[in-house]
Amino acid sequence: MSLQPGKLLRIYVNERDEYEGKPLYEAVVQRCRELNVAGATAFRALEGFGETAEVHRPHLFGGDEPIVITIVERPEKAQEILPILQGMMTSGLIAVTDVDVTFVTNGRPVSL
C-alpha cells in the first residue's frame, strides 16, 4: 500500500447557507468538480453549533441543519482551492488536516 501526503478539508456550514441562489453545500461540491478536485462529499449532521452558539438541528417544517463537506486532495491543490472556497462562504469554518492517503481505482492504488 502506497501512502501519499494529502490534505483533508472539512467545511462546516448550515443548510440555509447559499451561494448565488443555491444551497452552499451544492455549490461547493459543484465547484470542486469544476476544479477537478479528487473528491468532495456533503453530509447532513444531526446537531451542531458555531460561533453564535445557536444550536442547529432538524425541524418538522424544514430547518437549519448543520452540513459538513469533506474534501481530500493533494496539498498543493488544497492550497489552490482554499481561497476559492473561502470566497463562497459568508460564515462557517474550514478545518484543514494533514493526512496520509491512498487512492484506489479498479482495485489498484493510483497516484493522485
* Residue 23 CB-half CA count within 13 A: 15
**Which single residue is written with the C-alpha cell 452540513?**
67
| CA distance linking residue 92 with residue 11, whole number of Å | 7
Question: Where are the extended beta strands (E) located within 15-112?
Answer: 18-19, 22-23, 40-44, 48-49, 55-56, 66-73, 93-101, 103-105, 108-110
pTM (predicted TM-score): 0.85
At position 39, the amino acid (one-letter code) is G
pLDDT in tens, 63-103: 678 899 999 999 999 999 999 999 999 988 999 999 998 87
